[in-house]
Structure 1
Amino acid sequence: MQIIHVLQDWWQHQTWLEVIGVITGLLCVYLAAINNIWNWPFAVISVTIYIFIFFEAKLFADVGLQFYFFVVNLYGWYYWSQKPATEKKVPVAHITRKEILLAVPAIIIFTVILGSLLKYTTASYPYIDSFCTACSLVAQVFLARKVLENWLIWVFVDIIYVGVYTYKDLHLTAIMYAIYVAIAIKGYVDWKKDATQSPNGELKQTPNDQIRN
């Protein structure tokens, strides 16, 4: 009975705003993992809610990140709808060397600059928050462009977020991000299976890959 009372007390301290944010967040990530375009409208709802949640928690880098997610989610919704005439869905692509060379320095520079600014505010964990934000910026672009390796970035950053949100007493959100880790692993496995394969087992290049190279 004591456990039940503890759970009831814990539940009473959760807000409906966070509950809805968690539900829509889980739906959008799961639908993305199974390569379903309907992940994007749920993503738009979830990030809108988390703008308010993170502002209250003083995770200001995450607030800005949600605005960015809102825009990229709209772009992803559009991009995924532009499938080739010969395909049922936009093909999955591998990350290119150019994208890696752009992404890594961008993450480092963004983390240093934003973290240095946020440490003079009331922001919590300015450098950790900024690093996770930088990784998320890159991962979200790769997700919108259907780059397979976006899921590996999400696994890494979501593990860090679980710790951050636990310390900030956003327990439902921490649980959500722990589930995100599992979904991201599933997404990587499923997208790899869905990728267009050549006879020798290598991923075929799509026109988009050729443009990025």
Structure 2
Amino acid sequence: MIEEFLTQLTWLQGLGTLFGIVQVVLARQNNVHTYLFGIASILISMWVLYQSALYADILLNMYYLVMSVYGWVYWKFGKQKTETPISSVNKNEFLKANGIVLACFLLMSYWLTFHTDSDVPIWDAVVVAFAWAGMWLMAKRKIENWIYLNISNIISIPLMVYKELYIYAGMTVFLFIMGTSGYLKWRKLMKNERELTYATA
């Protein structure tokens, strides 16, 4: 019975990883359909994480689900009813992103420490805090999203190994590599968009 359960979790990790890989590849290409594969990966991950008592990560995935729907709409239409271009954060957005990190860390660390059986409350809270901010920036199509997400990824890798979620640990290594590549790709795309804007002005 236990062996069957572990096999099921491994299979689900593999499927969730596959959807996650497609998602991040599409995100790197600045493709709006990244969110469709992201939603599938999120739903699978929530079940796996629940079985592993990573409760903050479950909440993170619920947030991802909401932000995926918001991000898809914003990428497609934005405020100007046309596809939103890649851009950098301004001072106000930078403060908001760091405010999300701080607020999320304080709330998650408190909740995990005093209201769950998590054995890694601070560790889990830090991973979630940076990921929340990164996902918010991703939905806004801000290039800095890759920086926040990669901070979350680099901290998450040893956490997944500690929880013996080796497939997810491997995927997180891949996400870190793709996050670095994504930042460079978006920077190039943003430069091309600016040059095109200047050329047509």
Q: What's the TM-score, normalizing by structure 2?
A: 0.86
Q: Which contiguous aligned blocks of 4+ residues in structure 1 show a shift greater than 4 angstroms?
A: 11-14, 83-87
Q: Percent identity?
A: 25
Please say if residues 112 and 127 of structure 1, whose CA atoms lie closer than 8 Å, have aligned partners that are also in contact: no
Q: 1:146 aligns with which of 141, 144, 147?
A: 141
Please say if residues 92 and 147 of structure 1, whose CA atoms lie closer than 8 Å, have aligned partners that are also in contact: yes
Shift of 1:193: 0.7
Taking a change above 3 Å as real, the CA distance of residues 46 and 13 of structure 1, as seen in their structure-2 partners, is closer
Which stretch shows the higher mean deviation, 183-192 or 113-122?
113-122
Unaligned 5+ segments in structure 2 are 1-5
Q: Deviations over 1:169-191 (max 9, x none)?
A: 00000000000011011110111
C-alpha distance in 1 between matches for 2:160 and 2:173: 10
Is 1:113 aligned with 2:107? yes
Shift of 1:101: 1.6
Shift of 1:127: 1.2
Q: 2:60 aligns with which of 61, 65, 68?
A: 65
- The answer to which structure has the higher helix fraction is 2
Q: What's the TM-score, normalizing by structure 1?
A: 0.82
Q: Aligned residue for 2:3?
A: none
Please say if residues 52 and 163 of structure 2, whose CA atoms lie closer than 8 Å, have aligned partners that are also in contact: yes
Q: Over the residues paired in the alignment, what is the CA RMSD in angstroms?
A: 2.4
C-alpha distance in 1 between matches for 2:159 and 2:124: 8
Q: Aligned residue for 2:31?
A: 36
Taking a change above 3 Å as real, the CA distance of residues 136 and 86 of structure 1, as seen in their structure-2 partners, is closer
C-alpha distance in 2 between matches for 1:135 and 1:83: 24
Q: 1:79 aligns with which of 74, 80, 90?
A: 74
Q: 2:88 aligns with which of 76, 94, 102?
A: 94
Q: 1:188 aligns with which of 183, 187, 191?
A: 183
Q: Aligned residue for 2:22?
A: 27
The structure with the largest alpha-carbon Rg is 1
Which stretch shows the higher mean deviation, 165-174 or 190-199?
190-199
Aligned residues: 190
C-alpha distance in 2 between matches for 1:136 and 1:17: 22
Q: Aligned residue for 1:127?
A: 122
